[in-house]
Structure 1
Amino acid sequence: MKIELIKGDITKIEADAIVNAANSSLLGGGGVDGAIHRAGGKQILEECRAIRNRQGKCKTGEAVVTTGGNLPAQYVIHTVGPVWNGDEEKCSKLLAKCYKNSLELAENLGIKTIAFPNISTGVYRFPKELAGKIAIEEVKNFKSEILKKVIFICFDDENEEIYRNLLEK
């Protein structure tokens, strides 16, 4: 599985699936979540509402899928990252679950390329270096015959530098 690093806007990435750092309501919000909902259009929100009606809120660490709406990606995998509270062990396990569950869902859908944002590092205040280590470790440890490429999309210079350094190790 190839790992690629790009600084840019996840809503413009051409991949089979992009991952949304969603909140538990699945109804959009700020940061990457709001950007994906705005760019993807009403269809994503309607599908998120249908998921909520079926199962209730999405729990931290879990992942659900919708179509990509108006996005170049065919699918959006919505995962709810942990809000950093200083409990490194618990938060790290939950963040790792976000990546693992998203990758498993992608594999089950037959997805070949998937793009991840920097989950939980914005308003959820997860330490960026630790989040990067967890993200890269989960991707490298995930064995798949189906997934061919994972793209990490960094919105800012700081995350891009962290990921570049971690990937070069």
Structure 2
Amino acid sequence: MHISKREASLVQGDLFLFSISEYCPDMLIGGRGAASDPWRWQYAVDVLHSGFESGLLTVWTDQGAEACGSQVLSDLVRMLSESDPFDMSQFLTGGLDCWLEPQVVGTDICDDMLRRNGVDRSDGELSATLIADIEALLRKRSCPWGSGPRIIGMKALSGESKG
């Protein structure tokens, strides 16, 4: 599956932000004040799944960015797909720590790809070559865009069961 035009400009801007600082996954859905939007929730899961699997993103730990293993990243993506970031009852009971606690950061691969494609701002003109490079990297790593877990809301819409 390819990155849609709608997603492409967001991906570019979000990767740039992750390259300059660490952010919690909540940034990808628009923060705590955002209106419920299943599309943004699925987008966040897709960005993090693809970013972790391709090596563009990782989670910052006390031991540094490289200390986070692939199983930890995979578990985080699964938890994000199962924890509705717009459900305030989950937020108030601590059920949304996976959206607020981990600090996601761009890797050297991300930095190099952005630099090579001339991306130096989060709101700049869309770089078609960057998106092509991201898709090529995803193919090389056998993790096509959108191949990660579906969010609970999407599972319900498609008739899949939870779990």
Rg larger in structure: 2
Length-normalised TM-score, structure 2: 0.31
Structure with more of its chain in helix, by fraction = 2
Structure with more of its chain in strand, by fraction = 1
Length-normalised TM-score, structure 1: 0.30
